[in-house]
Amino acid sequence: MRKLKFHYEMQLKFSGDVIRHSFALRCLPKETCTQHILQLAYTISPHASVSTGSDAFGNILCSGFLEQPHDHFSFTVDGVALTNSENIDSGSLQHLFCYPTAQTTLTQGAAPYLALAQEMHDPLQKALAMSSKLYRSFTYKPNTTTTQTTAQQALDQGTGVCQDYTHIMLALCRLCHIPARYVAGFMTGEGATHAWLEIFAGGQWMGIDPTNNRIVDDQYIKLSEGRDASDCIIDKGVFFGNVSQSQSVLVRVTQEAL
């Protein structure tokens, strides 16, 4: 069990004013079997009314609208979570996570991973074996993929980021008939948001982080879950204005005394 203090900050800067800006954000951690949110607060600039609800997967969804001209947009979240990965998440709707999506389909290159998995009987061991091979074979390299890159494209080029590791592993697990879902969230340290997967095995959901070749433990905070990254988009918006934009994201997670 750990007590984690977290800070998330997303900033958008526009080259000029935009108007009629609609936004939808999934950057608030939710209550789960493995995490309890002790404190949670957020700020938004420019000020806007925010409606909070949930999407089809139970993720917290914040939506709002900015009518007036503005040349920036920021959303900051601060809070404290109590995490305990030993709690059992028996979950539900496992069948939703058994099938490939547009971003998690592999038609070639999977054979070596599947052959390795066939040597084992336990779903968790199958997934961990494939994750370990991917960790050795795949190279973490930012700016070589985009949010639209598919598992097949990433596997073919052999480089990518956490989203790509996760999409490849989702495809491999589903080919092995292991229900698997995409997870977006935070990890202890400082940097950006992170992605990993959870598989359903032995009557419960268990997290695997293929980017770091490890089992997910109390150092992780979940924001959202879904079939792939498109179900877990952290910030999405539409606005009117002929402008360019730049985005920066900062995540900081530190451990506090219990």
User: Could you tell me if residue 17 is inside a domain?
Assistant: yes
Domain match, 160 and 200 both: yes
Q: Are residues 105 and 196 in the same domain?
A: yes
CATH number at residue 183: 3.10.620.30
pLDDT at residue 92 in the model: 76
| CA pair distance 146, 210, nearest whole angstrom | 18
pLDDT classification of 91: cutoffs 50, 70, 90: confident
Give me the mean pLDDT over the 39-44 stretch.
Answer: 96
- Cα(255)–Cα(57) distance, integer angstroms: 28
pTM over cut 0.85: yes
Say if residue 237's pLDDT is above 90: yes
Is there a domain that residue 114 lies in?
Answer: yes
Whether the predicted pLDDT of 252 surpasses 90: yes
The answer to whether the CB of 21 falls within 8 A of the CB of 65 is yes
Instruction: Compute the average pLDDT of residues 153-181.
Output: 98
In this structure, the answer to whether residues 65 and 181 fall within a common structural domain is no
Domain count, the chain: 2
Residue 48: CATH number of its domain:
2.60.40.2250
Whether residues 227 and 140 fall in one domain: yes
Q: How many CB atoms lie within 10 A of CB 239?
A: 19
CA distance 243 to 184: 29
Measured CA to CA, the distance from residue 34 to residue 41 in angstroms comes to 20
Q: Is the pLDDT of residue 182 over 80?
A: yes
Residue at 165 is within a domain: yes
DSSP string, 100-168: --TTS--SSS-HHHHHHHHT--SHHHHHHHHHHHHHHHSEE-TTSS-TT--HHHHHHHTEE-HHHHHHH
Residues 174, 220, single domain; the answer is yes
What is the domain extent for residue 40?
Answer: 2-84+234-256
95-135 confidence digits (pLDDT tens)? 999 999 999 999 999 999 999 999 998 999 999 999 999 99
**pLDDT, the chain, mean:** 96
Q: Is residue 89 part of a domain?
A: no
Q: Give the Cα separation of 219 and 87 in Å (integer).
A: 14
Residue 182 lies in a domain: yes
Residues 135 and 176 in one domain: yes
Tell me what pLDDT residue 188 has.
Answer: 97
pLDDT over 90 (residue 140): yes
Report the alpha-carbon angle 230-160-35, nearest 5: 55
Please indicate, yes or no, whether residues 110 and 148 belong to a single structural domain of this protein.
Answer: yes
Same structural domain for residues 31 and 115?
Answer: no
Average pLDDT over residues 196-214: 96
Residues 73 and 172 in one domain: no
- Provide DSSP, 195-224: EEEEEEETTEEEEEETTTTEE--TTEEEEE
